[in-house]
Amino acid sequence: MKRSELSEFALEEEGFKIKIRRGHNGLAAAGGDPIVTYHQPAPAAAPASLSSGSSATLNPGAGAASAEEAGVTFIKSPMVGTFYRSASPESKPFTEVEAKVAENSVVCIIEAMKIMNEIQAETKGVILEVLVENGQPVEYGQRLFKVRKE
């Protein structure tokens, strides 16, 4: 931003907004670091035609699924990026099905903008299922692993 003498940059696309501003109140500050503002998109509301229906009509078996999911949680993606199960193609995966994990166990890497971000389990339990293929793109909040809590 300094090289191009920009004081503000904003981008909005499909509910994603980012605004970068140097200085305060739109005034460029000499030597000031950029201020970054990120706006999380709000969850989309159900269309009116669907919202009047019951959840059982929209998702049959939802009650049974929640009963089966007792004691189960999910490790979710904290960002948008590319999912990798190991540090490199030659390395073994950080975790496997039936492996125990602790809150600080690294379970995968998500690459975002050429930065490799180690993702921790943030829960204690046993991995039941890996829900994403290696090298696949993931979204914010997407379920990555199914975990039986301990």
Beta bridge partners of 146: 74, 129
Mean pLDDT of 27-55: 47
Helix (H, G, I), strand (E, B) or coil at 150: coil
Confidence label for 119 from pLDDT (cuts 50, 70 and 90): very high
Helices marked H in 69-150: none
- Evaluate if pTM is beyond 0.75: no
Q: Pick left, alpha or beta for residue 5 (phi over 0 → left; psi -120 to 50 → alpha; otherwise beta).
A: left
HSE-CB for 97 with a 13 A CA cutoff: 5
Radius of gyration of the chain (CA): 21
Triad 71, 85, 101: Cα angle to 5°: 35
Complete domains list, the chain, with CATH: 8-39 (no CATH), 71-149 (2.40.50.100)
pLDDT in tens, 6-25: 777 777 777 777 777 776 55
Decide if pLDDT at 131 tops 80. yes
CA dist., res. 91 & res. 106, Å (int): 14
* Cα 94 to Cα 96: distance, rounded to the nearest angstrom: 7
By three-state DSSP, how is residue 137 classified?
A: strand
Helix (H, G, I), strand (E, B) or coil at 86: coil
Whether the CA torsion 133, 95, 87, 117 is positive or negative: it is positive
DSSP code of residue 24:
B
